Amino acid sequence: MEKSTDKKNYSVKNRALPPELIKKANEMNILDYLDKKGILVQSIGKGQYQLVDHDSFKINADPTSEDYNKMNWYSRGEGAYGPIGFAKLYYGMNFREAVKDVTETIDEMIESVKPIEKIVRNEKPYEYDPTYITKDTSKIEDYLVNERKINPDLVEALIDKGMIRQTSKKISNDNGKEIEVNNLAFMWNRHGKIIGHDERGIVEGSHFKKIASGVPENRGFSVTFGKPESIFVFESNIDALSYASMYKPKNSRFISLNGADKPKTMYQAIKDIVDDTKEPPKNIVLCLDNDRTGREATNKLCVPLQLGEKEIDFYISQPPRFEKEKVYEKNSINELFKTIDNNDTKENNLKIKNDRLEIQEEVTGWHIYDKNLDKSYKIDDDKGNRNRLRKLFENETFEVDYISTTKDWNEVLKYVKENNISLERPLIKPRFVERDTEKNTEKIQQKNNEMER
């Protein structure tokens, strides 16, 4: 679609960037940024990391430290702070380029500089490059079968069909030592053509995950078993293979969102099945994680949807919570945040002890009560608020114990294998409230429109 010539074009180049955008970009966790850029890091201590290909490049990623998000490239005698500083130091970007790169999409930056037209990034379309694919698949087989407990027959079939591959990349560190890095690549296939791929690290402790550049929007890794009459939706590729290992599906297509809340990927999968079979899928089964993020995403995705006169049935297949082990930790304030975020307190029996502070879950959320000052502080997801609490209680230690439970389908698969039990597939049909109201009809139409775009 051509841009209208009636609107005035504004250049971002000479306009000041909003301070809130710069602040947001530099507060991003440095490890999250490196993961998305596909940069391998190695842990060298609590919250301390170095780059695999430049071992003199040290990063402090410990949020409890005064030097959090600071880095030094010792072989070059240079340092920086935050993701913006990293982009400038490592890639040689200027400040504006670094802000744009860290925020990932220029849309957010453009929309905050008003008035301005939306600018589309001219990204080179994905091209499959087989040169980094190895004939040897032993390392990804070992990872999937022995570490992830995926059915070996399924792994063999996926390798034979070229749907998973072992990659190899040789890099040199600062000492000139050559290192070979192997990853697991999930190939995105459409009508026999590879249209994209994503990779993950297979070495213990690796945080590496990367989606190849230029891949088609709203697509991801998928596996089809027979005629795809149903769609099973997962947060990750590993979860999809774990579920398939347990229940040996028939006449279905398993799709990975590569995250939790990506409805357009699900709608694209529906459209693909209509294109392939000339009829819509009978069912959609949401198999997202059994944690706060997964449950919230399930609620968002699980809305009435119909194509023509046919309404698609939704089901939920949530990973059951099995008790794995009793966990006792002495946590810093930042580790306490993670524990609270990742635990369902009612099911996991989360207990927190501190002589000075009381940590309580109330109707409005979690609170820290300071008995010495007779003052209460609310814990929420705002980064500024959490940074303030980190400074207030940086010297406090919290004694925490809870029951560790399974939350995703790979954890469930491991538990079932280790304990030699069989598990009937959990499957419920959600009850939609006020299905025929005007508000719900608008939702259905909106979802259908999104799918058709």
Which strand ranges, in their side-by-side order, compose the sheet holding 209-211? 164-172, 178-190, 193-201, 209-211
Residues 157 and 195 reside in one and the same domain: yes
Residues 390 and 374 reside in one and the same domain: yes
Mean pLDDT per block of 10 residues along the chain (453 residues) reads 38 62 80 76 78 82 84 86 90 85 52 37 76 95 97 98 94 74 95 93 82 88 95 96 94 88 86 91 94 86 78 92 86 84 71 88 85 89 83 90 90 95 87 46 46 44
- Is 154 inside a domain boundary? yes
Which strand ranges, in their side-by-side order, compose the sheet holding 357-362? 357-362, 365-370, 375-379
What local confidence, expressed as pLDDT, does residue 261 receive?
Answer: 59
What local confidence, expressed as pLDDT, does residue 7 receive?
Answer: 36
| Residue where a domain terminates, one of 300, 316, 332 | 316
**Single-letter code of the amino acid located at 134:** T
- Is 65 inside a domain boundary? yes
Residues 294 and 172 reside in one and the same domain: yes
- Is 219 inside a domain boundary? yes
**368 neighbors 359 (Cβ within 8 angstroms):** yes
- pTM (2 d.p.): 0.66
Is the bond preceding 115 in cis, omega lying within 30 degrees of 0? yes
**What CATH number did the domain enclosing 33 receive?**
3.90.580.10
Structure tokens given for 212:
């190849």
What local confidence, expressed as pLDDT, does residue 311 receive?
Answer: 84
* 217 CB neighbour count, 10 Å cutoff: 7
Residues 87 and 179 reside in one and the same domain: no
Q: Give tens-digit pLDDT for 66-119.
A: 888 899 988 778 889 989 999 899 888 888 888 888 876 334 433 433 333 333
- Is 367 inside a domain boundary? yes
Burial class for 235, CB neighbours closer than 10 Å (0-12, 13-18, 19+):
buried
Residues 307 and 337 reside in one and the same domain: no
- Is 399 inside a domain boundary? yes
Residues 200 and 297 reside in one and the same domain: yes
- Is 413 inside a domain boundary? no
Residues 252 and 203 reside in one and the same domain: yes
| Residue where a domain terminates, one of 103, 121, 145 | 103
Residues 341 and 311 reside in one and the same domain: no
Q: How many domains does the chain have?
A: 3
Angstrom distance (rounded) from CA 286 to CA 317: 6
- Is 440 inside a domain boundary? no
What local confidence, expressed as pLDDT, does residue 264 receive?
Answer: 86
What local confidence, expressed as pLDDT, does residue 411 receive?
Answer: 95
Residues 350 and 260 reside in one and the same domain: no
- Is 198 inside a domain boundary? yes
Residues 154 and 261 reside in one and the same domain: yes
What local confidence, expressed as pLDDT, does residue 248 receive?
Answer: 87
Residues 265 and 351 reside in one and the same domain: no
Residues 306 and 328 reside in one and the same domain: no
What local confidence, expressed as pLDDT, does residue 9 receive?
Answer: 34
Range of the domain at 184: 137-316
| Residue where a domain terminates, one of 103, 124, 158 | 103
